[in-house]
Amino acid sequence: MLCTTIREIVTGAAERFGDGDAIRWKIGKDEIETRSYRQLREDSERFSAALDALGELGSHVALTGPTSYRWIVTYLGTVGCGSVAVPLDVSLPAQEMCELLDRADATVFVYDEQRADVAAMARERCPKLRYLISMQKEEPEDGAEAFDRLLDAQKPGFERVVDPDALCTIMFTSGTTGKSKGVMLTQRNLAENATCLDMRIPERTVLLSVLPIHHAYCLSMDILKGISLGSIICINDSLLRVAKNIKLFKPNVILMVPLMIETLAKKLEEAAMLPAAIVKAKVFGGQFHTIFSGGAYLNPAYIDLFEKYGITILQGYGMTECSPVISTNLSWCVRKESVGKLMPNCEAKTVDGELWVRGSSVMMGYYHMPEETEETLRDGWLATGDLGYVDEEGYVFLTGRKKNLIITKNGENVSPEELENKLGEQRLIREVLVRENEGVIEAEIFPDADYVKKKRITDVQAALQKIIDEYNQGAPAYKKIYRLKVRETEFEKTPSKKIKRY
């Protein structure tokens, strides 16, 4: 069912799934706490009413914390009454978080006590803030309101007509370069992204949410799409405990980034001697069947590996600016080399090699950044910055990032990702970055220490050079790698675990 506002998703689910579990999370060791779809709707409405009582309807409400029921209620309650939610990365340094609070014009800040330090600093440095709300405090204290107290004082049933095309969420993108930008998304942007495609996921599917909730991918797919399908959304409390939580919550589906898939692949390979069904049951449980992958490039070899264990990996593609999903593979039509079929609410074209998309999920623009908005949105089209094309059947193929493009002296264009992905298939190479340096193409490599020891490689530099030489033999002159640098440490990453390029 296509929804145009987020409130419609929540009320629809409450009507259909009522007392069925919506959210599950762990309290103490093996104890699980739950809230139903009815409670989720009522608590969200109470939060809306609390904003009204504070005189903050329509305000910008920033929120930060690890994934939690209160986080979800804050978000749904904020956007449910036409206010604007600003989800912030819980791992940001306090100073940076205060800057974003200020840049987003937030007047309310809802925080997890894990970040009491930010609340303390914000009190001094963010003059626009009128209310601080602690998710855990039982009583108002130190100028902060207590979340539960505010909700207890309100009745559910708060209603307000919400314009589908009004701003509802500002999400800051971390980006591999430059200052973070506040992506402005409307109700329709997010609601249609979550509901326009029938992925044939059965109602009441159990999903485990492991990604950071301030990311568009997690918020849209785990939470909004999850709610629209009446899923049982289980909260993973820490990346330390994914394996344990899989055993506890017994999910059918998990949304992941490629880094996680790689670690799990090792676990599967370790036990490769045992029958596939036993290994799968041990690592994931017999009920598990699907991994959605997004956020970065996934080596297609993993899709084959997991298939052996009866697990389907569906790779998708998107960006926050498109709320975020642009294309996805579907269980009944997987193309390994493609990032999937275009979403039904999205059309695409290629301009100078770059993929442009248009549709109901494309953002309004960047908050208070007219120049950057103009560069990215052109006549209603979103210039994705990705190099790629769509084939006749609607499958999207990506070849690299436009801004990373290397333009050689003779005018040839080389996409470093293409070379990186090719080299990255070698087991000896853990991480690789390809760039131009002093007029030639250079590869910087962080070798896989594990593999070096296993194969008893004594001269890593020479072994890597051999890989480069072999690659060069089959490559056209302008794509040849002329210089090799070996690193001793992992590359520095962005908060979303992508290698920082500059």
Partner 1 sequence: MFEKLKEIILKYVEVKEEAVTPEARFMEDLGFTSFDFMSMLGEIEDEFDVEIDEQEAANIRTVGEAVEYLEKLANG
Whole-angstrom distance, CA of residue 55 vs CA of residue 40: 23
CB 323 within 8 A of CB 363: yes
Largest CA distance in the chain: 72
Please, which residue, 149 or 493, has the CB nearer to partner 1? 493
Among 94, 120, 196, 242, binds partner 1 (CB under 8 A): 242
Among 260, 325, 414, 481, binds partner 1 (CB under 8 A): 260
Q: Which residues of 123-154 are buried (b: 16+ CB within 10 A; e: fewer)?
A: beebeebebbbbbebeeeeeebbbbeebbeeb
Please, which residue, 381 or 491, has the CB nearer to partner 1? 491
Whole-angstrom distance, CA of residue 143 vs CA of residue 431: 47
Whole-angstrom distance, CA of residue 193 vs CA of residue 183: 15
Which residues in the 275-304 window bind partner 1 by CB under 8 A? Answer: none
Among 161, 332, 489, 492, binds partner 1 (CB under 8 A): 489
Provide the CA 46 distance to its chain's centre, in angstroms.
28
- CA-nearest of 304, 232, 225 to 261 is 304
Please, which residue, 149 or 487, has the CB nearer to partner 1? 487
Residue 262 binds partner 1, judged by CB under 8 A? yes
Residue 461 binds partner 1, judged by CB under 8 A? no
Whole-angstrom distance, CA of residue 107 vs CA of residue 237: 29
Residue 255 binds partner 1, judged by CB under 8 A? no
The span of 135-143, 262-270, 361-369, 418-426 binding partner 1 (CB under 8 A) equals 262-270
Residue 448 binds partner 1, judged by CB under 8 A? yes
Q: Which residue has the tokens 């909700």?
A: 151
The Cβ of residue 107 has, within 10 Å, a number of other Cβ atoms equal to: 20
Whole-angstrom distance, CA of residue 371 vs CA of residue 11: 38
Among 144, 430, 434, 479, binds partner 1 (CB under 8 A): 430
Which residues in the 113-172 window bind partner 1 by CB under 8 A? Answer: none
Among 259, 334, 364, 475, binds partner 1 (CB under 8 A): 259
Among 204, 349, 454, 483, binds partner 1 (CB under 8 A): 454
Q: Quick one: angle between helices 258-270 and 301-308, nearest 10?
A: 50
Here's the x/- map for partner 1, 19-58, by CB under 8 A: it reads as: ----------------------------------------
Please, which residue, 155 or 456, has the CB nearer to partner 1? 456
Which residues in the 378-407 window bind partner 1 by CB under 8 A? Answer: none
Among 244, 282, 422, 501, binds partner 1 (CB under 8 A): 244
Among 296, 333, 449, 486, binds partner 1 (CB under 8 A): 449
In the complex, minimum distance from the CB of residue 451 to partner 1, in angstroms, rounded to a whole number: 7
In the complex, minimum distance from the CB of residue 362 to partner 1, in angstroms, rounded to a whole number: 32
Helix ranges restricted to H, 89-169: 94-103, 116-125, 147-152
Whole-angstrom distance, CA of residue 267 vs CA of residue 251: 18
In the complex, minimum distance from the CB of residue 490 to partner 1, in angstroms, rounded to a whole number: 6
In the complex, minimum distance from the CB of residue 243 to partner 1, in angstroms, rounded to a whole number: 6
Among 379, 411, 453, 492, binds partner 1 (CB under 8 A): 453
Whole-angstrom distance, CA of residue 248 vs CA of residue 234: 10
- DSSP E strands in 225-336: the ranges are 232-235, 253-256, 290-293, 312-318, 325-328
Please, which residue, 88 or 261, has the CB nearer to partner 1? 261
Whole-angstrom distance, CA of residue 391 vs CA of residue 395: 5
Binding site for partner 1 (CB under 8 A): 238-244, 259-260, 262-263, 266, 270, 430, 448-454, 488-490, 497
